[in-house]
Amino acid sequence: MIDLAPGHKQGLPVASPVIVAGGMAGYGESLPRGLAPEKLGALVVGPILGRSRAGAPQPRLAETVGGMVLNTGLQNRGAASVLGKFAKLWPRLGCPVVAQVADGEPRGLARLADQMAGLPGLSGFELLPLTDEIALVQRMVRGLAERSDLPVWVKLPLATAAAWAAPLADAGANGLVVGQPPLGRLAREIGVGSAQVRGALYGPGVLPLMLEGLAAVAEQGLPCALLACGGIHTAAQAQQALALGAHAIQLDTVVWVEPAAAGWITAALAQTGKAGG
């Protein structure tokens, strides 16, 4: 077993270092066909916001060789709808469930944490900060820790991962996820006047950027779990992240391209002795 919340009173033990990232399986109701949650270390559901949100106008997606730019605008049902319709699924998924919660200020996040208190089948929170003010993110981490008995991860922006890591560990984060996808811009089609999409960049090309941020955080030797997210599409790439100090990896859009990849990567890591201890 791997503890992804070291120092927390109940921890977050997982049987595999392979986790599906937030946004890839909805709220647990949108598992891609071929993805077996019982073989995962954990599944991150969400993001969940306090209130519903319409999201970005179309077009939202532009594809390139081996990747995509996606702008959902954080389209969201809101906490009341999510918890009423989907939280009942979480105890039946067969793996630990971590709820990705998104907010930009402590009071809103505190209300959201109160709404989610005591939910069965929930093993932890992953904070997706909607602010670039580190002091606010620290307050949100402390607030989550105070209002819940569950462990707290924080998903770090790649650009500030190294600078944010220690302050957030000091604030009580039990795990740090490196990290949020970088921003990119891409035309939908070739030609003058083609619609441009500006949003999160996904694909194997993100891997070197993520590994650079991961190495910078790992070098700090912080007393929390370290999770790698971004551009991991193969077992060899997962092994690179683990070798740099990650305790677990999160898979993002690869589970849309090939849902069975999670199983393949888990099996390959088991053969190399990287699938848990």
**E-only strand ranges, 80-216:** 97-103, 122-129, 152-157, 175-180, 183-187, 196-202
What's the confidence (pLDDT) of residue 192?
58
Residue with tokens 């605008």: 73
Q: Does some domain include residue 277?
A: no
Q: pLDDT tens digit string along 212-241?
A: 999 999 999 999 999 999 999 999 999 999
User: Does the pLDDT value for residue 13 go beyond 50?
Assistant: yes
What's the confidence (pLDDT) of residue 66?
84
Taking Cα atoms as reference points, which of 107, 232, 122 lies closest to residue 177?
232
What's the confidence (pLDDT) of residue 277?
45
Q: Does some domain include residue 178?
A: yes
Query: Averaging pLDDT over each range in 58-67, 105-114, 165-174, which range is the top one?
Result: 165-174
What's the confidence (pLDDT) of residue 188?
82
The boundaries of the domain holding residue 220 are 2-271
Q: Which tokens in the block code for residue 6? A: 């070291």
How many domains, in total, are found in the chain? 1
For residues 44-78, one letter each, b for 16 or more C-beta atoms within 10 angstroms of the residue's C-beta and e for the rest, the string is bbbbbbbeebeebeeebebeeeebbbbbeeeebbe
Instruction: Count how many Cα atoms sit within 13 Å of the Cα of residue 152 in the half-sphere of its side chain.
Output: 28
Distances in whole angstroms, Cα of residue 237 to Cα of each of 50, 84, 198: 35, 38, 26
Residues counted in the chain: 277
Q: Which residues pair with 223 in a beta bridge?
A: none
What's the confidence (pLDDT) of residue 275?
62
What's the confidence (pLDDT) of residue 276?
55
Q: Does some domain include residue 49?
A: yes
Q: Does some domain include residue 259?
A: yes
At 184 the three-state DSSP class reads: strand
Mean pLDDT, to the nearest integer, of 25-42? 92
Give the C-alpha separation, 144 to 147, whole Å: 5
Q: Does some domain include residue 276?
A: no
* Domain at 99, CATH number: 3.20.20.70
What's the confidence (pLDDT) of residue 191?
64
Q: Does some domain include residue 133?
A: yes
Percent of the chain with pLDDT over 90: 88
Residue with tokens 């270390």: 41
Q: Does some domain include residue 63?
A: yes
Q: Which tokens in the block code for residue 87? A: 């939280």
Alpha-helical segments (H) within 219-272: 235-243, 254-257, 261-271
Q: pLDDT tens digit string along 114-154?
A: 999 889 999 999 999 999 999 999 999 999 999 999 999 99
Taking Cα atoms as reference points, which of 123, 109, 35, 36 lies closest to residue 79?
109
The mean of the pLDDT values for the chain is 94
Give the C-alpha separation, 144 to 151, whole Å: 9
Q: Does some domain include residue 37?
A: yes
